[in-house]
Homo-oligomer: A and B are copies of this chain.
């Protein structure tokens, strides 16, 4: 079996350079990288990752902490994150927190002990006071106070686009439907964008929210429909696609048809085929870009770089469906 020294000799470089190519850890000239890769292939050199990592005191494990992989938005995100990590020879550890703060903290402790190389976290809880870790972290959708870089879709512009698209579809009195979370989250900007755009255009609009988590959706929508001021609402921007679908389903029971009586736009773009109806009109999250960007930023942090931004917002697009 060939050694790293054999690879270095054949490529005409030092052992350190081979190691850097294998680990993708430092700037190596493209030509040098190609030479080393060719030598690795020719000699069928297989680095012993366990030995290597132990020697380097480095892990090639990155943890993904999210509420639940069993949700189309998160599973798509996980798919692309794993793909991007794998390109660099890193492995993904999956941690489902169930959205519970204590479970999240438990995982942070566990990951700290296991010395993972980095963490990509999606949390909507107020756990920042309790998170103490030297491990590089990238957060998706959520700011932490401790200068943890956040990657998110451009929620604010998404809210503005949603308002404009509702008007384009003929709505005269659009409403935002969402919930109030106790901690600041980037997703709140969906509402801000919606309100700002309505105000700047001088459009009468409604904002309806109940405290998060909304467990009884039937009750939530009943409360909404009961209020007289909501009766002539003819456009709805729902905080997520699932929320939009629940609104449409409940509205039907009140004899309100979509899109005839009310135009509805969601946020996420979780439907990846056109086989099930209604196909929601939605603000599509750039999931793949968010995933790959998170991994790239995490790698930069792992190399000790200080990132120039705290929040990276990725452009969104409107995708027309059957509900506007």
Interface residues of A (CB under 8 A from B): 46-50, 54, 61, 64, 68-72, 74-76, 78-79, 82-83, 86, 91-96, 109-110, 113-115, 242, 245-246, 248-249, 271, 273-278
User: Which 10 pairs, one residue from A and one from B, show the smallest C-beta to C-beta distance?
Assistant: A70-B79, A276-B276, A75-B75, A245-B275, A94-B94, A92-B94, A49-B113, A70-B76, A70-B75, A69-B79
Q: Report A104 CB to chain B, min CB distance, Å.
A: 13
In the complex, which residues of chain B have a beta carbon less than 8 angstroms from the beta carbon of A79? 68-70, 96
In the complex, which residues of chain B have a beta carbon less than 8 angstroms from the beta carbon of A71? 75
Q: Residue A278 contacts which of B86, B96, B242, B276 (CB distance < 8 angstroms)? A: B276
Q: Report A266 CB to chain B, min CB distance, Å.
A: 11
Residue among A72, A79, A86, A94 facing the most chain B CB atoms (10 A cut-off) = A94
In the complex, which residues of chain B have a beta carbon less than 8 angstroms from the beta carbon of A93? 61, 91-94
In the complex, the answer to whether B50 meets A114 with C-beta atoms within 8 Å is: yes
Residue among A70, A82, A277 facing the most chain B CB atoms (10 A cut-off) = A70
Q: Told that A48-B113, A249-B274, A276-B277 touch, could you supply 5 new A-B pairs with CB distance under 8 A?
A: A72-B72, A91-B93, A91-B114, A245-B273, A277-B277
